Amino acid sequence: MTNPYAPPTSNITLRGDPRDAIKARVSRPATALIIMSSIQSVFVGIYLVSAAVIVVRGGTVLDDAIGLTIGCLQFICLILIAVGAAKLGFLESYRLARLGSMLACIPFITPFMLIGIPFGIWSLRLLSDPLVRDAFPDFDSQRSPRGG
């Protein structure tokens, strides 16, 4: 007796490298995070450059010290999101991919305020898949206990 509600099973074998199939799975959220964080970092960079120009011309930055601090932190986080997404797309570094995905889920750091959150969640969901985790070369080193 078969279950009519069970997902269909496939007897198709993967041709070539199974990492290619995993790269295809992670490419969409990785690309979305790279594009969004790159565009958002341009806007934050323009703000930071304009503040630097004001300082060079003799103005004071102390009037907007909190805004500059938040801008610098957001710029650094956006760069980490883009680098982590690139590492996710190429299956190079599990830790950076996870860090970038987690940063994309934080409001006001994520690219375009809230639009990056679904892509960060999607990336984290993919990173929790055992097949995707095992495709990263540095994941084995995380599983082994430290110092042993």
Domain ranges of the chain: 26-127
- Give the C-alpha separation, 132 to 148, whole Å: 25
Question: Could you tell me which residue, 22 or 59, shows the higher pLDDT?
Answer: 22
| pLDDT band per the 50, 70, 90 thresholds, residue 61 | low
pLDDT in the model for residue 63: 63
Chain centroid offset of residue 24 CA: 16
- What pLDDT is recorded for position 112? 81
pLDDT over 60 (residue 139): yes
Query: Residue 68: CB partners within 8 Å, gap ≥ 6?
Result: 48, 51, 61
pTM above 0.85, yes or no: no
Between CA 126 and CA 111, with CA 80 as vertex, the angle to 5 degrees is: 75
